[in-house]
Amino acid sequence: MPAPIRVAVTGAAGNIGYALIWRIASGSCFGPDQPVILSLLEITPVLPRLEGTVMELVDSAFPLVHGIEATDDANVAFHNADAVFLVGSRPRSKDMDRSDLVAANGPIFVGQGQALNHAARDVKVLTVGNPCNTNCLIANAHAPDIPSTQFTAMTRLDQNRAHGMLAEKAGTPVANVHDVVVWGNHGPTMYPDVTWATVNGKKVSESYDAGWLRGEFLDTVSDRGRAVIAARGASSAASAASSAVDHMRDWHLGSGERIVSMGVVSQGQYGIPEGLVYSMPCRTKNGRWEVVEGLQVDEFGRKKIQENIDALQQERAAVADLLG
Ligand code: NAX
């Protein structure tokens, strides 16, 4: 059995944390033979609640869990971490718009970026807390000693939502749907692009009505988070946790030929300005991701990609004072 890896989860007593930690502990994320030491971070007032989570983890008796630590100190939580899930932050409530969310959550990622820089080196960071692209940008800016390739943001939930919707419409298991590319921001402008996607081995563009693909499909995927809040009275939690597991599992264990959507720091691919954290088509191998280059983007796609560049540049400008 390999040596245990250290996995940190922030916001560990929250809703996503409650679903995520169990999947990590069970081996769904890092593989069925990989032991883990769980390092759970919460803000001080929530430590008693986190204690309850720890009790339940102990009670679940996961053979792969070789240690559980709970703390309110990010430097302790991230010490020698191999993987970090930055979940802790406020979810959007019904009355909040995106700029409220940026203002409420951005500062958290200054301190956590600094703590990562201090405490971790060869670490894979997945930012889930919203607005996740911009929070990832902030954390990365405060961790100059960690390569920016190690900082990613989660748009896998959007890809999974798109796959789920295409599968439902075709009446086929989602395993038969591949390669929707989510471009841009995990926000309303996000673009689930089906140009290279297949369902049951056939191109999506040949299998569905073009009007539906550019209309209801796009609107439903990009508005799904809000629809879940309206229905549940709380933001997506289990599906977010599951998508975080998918993102980190593929990064750690490899995606094979599948295209996976990841928010990554742009190096100028597809005309996306360098340094923006932008969701792009990726493949992963040996613990590293690579952008799938050379896909021919049509005119509609170019317009959508630009909309996301504009949105992310605006978000970046709004947090300029947090970027150091
Ligand atoms: P909860 O409010 O249930 O849990 C968040 C937890 O974070 C709380 O327990 C809180 O005490 C803790 N926290 C706050 N500040 C912290 C800090 N500085 N350090 C450590 N912990 C801290 O929210 P939950 O439903 O778990 O959502 C968490 C975040 O994920 C939100 O920002 C939410 O918007 C975001 N989401 C991101 C998604 C994505 O696809 N990227 C989708 C789902 C979700 O909306």
Residue 116 clears pLDDT 90, i.e. is over it? yes
- pLDDT of the residue at 192: 98
Between CA 180 and CA 303 the distance in angstroms is: 17
Residue 151 clears pLDDT 80, i.e. is over it? yes
How many Cβ atoms sit within 10 Å of the Cβ of residue 20?
27
- Residue of 60, 62, 59, 9 whose CA lies nearest to 34: 62
16 C-alpha to ligand 1 centroid (Å): 7
- pLDDT of the residue at 182: 98
DSSP class of residue 184 equals: B
Question: What are the structural domains, with CATH classification, of the chain?
Answer: 5-153 (3.40.50.720), 156-318 (3.90.110.10)
Q: Per the structure block, which two tokens stand in for 51?
A: 């204690």
Best probe residue, ligand 1, of 90, 125, 159 (max atoms within 8 Å of C-beta): 90
Locate the ligand 1 atom nearest the alpha carbon of residue 88 and give its number. 7
Single-letter residue type at 194: V
Strand order, beta sheet including 5-10: 65-71, 36-41, 5-10, 83-86, 124-127, 151-153, 260-265, 277-285, 288-291
What is the tens place of the pLDDT at every residue in 204-237? Answer: 999 999 999 999 999 999 999 999 999 999 989 9
Q: List the residue whose alpha carbon is closest to atom 12 of ligand 1.
A: 11
Place of tokens 């430097």: 75
40 C-alpha to ligand 1 centroid (Å): 13
137 C-alpha to ligand 1 centroid (Å): 17
Q: Is the dihedral of CA 222, 225, 227, 230 positive or negative?
A: negative
List all residues 6 or more positions away from 97 whose beta carbon is below 8 Å from its beta carbon.
none
Locate the ligand 1 atom nearest the alpha carbon of residue 132 and give its number. 41
Residues with CB under 6 A from ligand 1: 10-11, 13-17, 41-43, 46, 87-92, 108, 128-130, 132, 154, 157, 186, 225, 235-237, 240
Question: Please, which pLDDT band fits residue 173 given cuts at 50, 70 and 90?
Answer: very high
List all residues 6 or more positions away from 77 whose beta carbon is below 8 Å from its beta carbon.
8, 10, 39, 40, 41, 69, 71, 115, 119
- pLDDT of the residue at 125: 98
Q: List the residue whose alpha carbon is closest to atom 41 of ligand 1.
A: 128
Question: What does DSSP say about strands 177-178 and 198-199: parallel, antiparallel, or unpaired?
Answer: antiparallel
CA angle 260, 265, 269 (to 5 degrees): 75
Question: Please, which pLDDT band fits residue 153 given cuts at 50, 70 and 90?
Answer: very high
In terms of residues, how long is the chain? 324
- pLDDT of the residue at 284: 98
Q: Per the structure block, which two tokens stand in for 210?
A: 């073009």
What is the tens place of the pLDDT at every residue in 86-104? Answer: 999 987 777 787 778 888 8
Best probe residue, ligand 1, of 142, 235, 322 (max atoms within 8 Å of C-beta): 235
CA angle 266, 179, 271 (to 5 degrees): 25
Between 238-253 and 156-170, two packed helices, what is the crossing angle to 10 degrees? 110
183 C-alpha to ligand 1 centroid (Å): 23
Average pLDDT, the chain: 96
Locate the ligand 1 atom nearest the alpha carbon of residue 111 and give its number. 18
Residue 180 clears pLDDT 80, i.e. is over it? yes
Q: Is 66 a catalytic residue?
A: no
3-state secondary structure 284-324: EECCEEEECCCCCCCHHHHHHHHHHHHHHHHHHHHCHHHCC
3-state secondary structure 4-20: CEEEEEECCCCHHHHHH
Phi, psi at 212, each rounded to 5°: -65, -40
299 C-alpha to ligand 1 centroid (Å): 36
Annotated catalytic residue within 142, 163, 178, 186: 186
- pLDDT of the residue at 172: 98
17 C-alpha to ligand 1 centroid (Å): 8
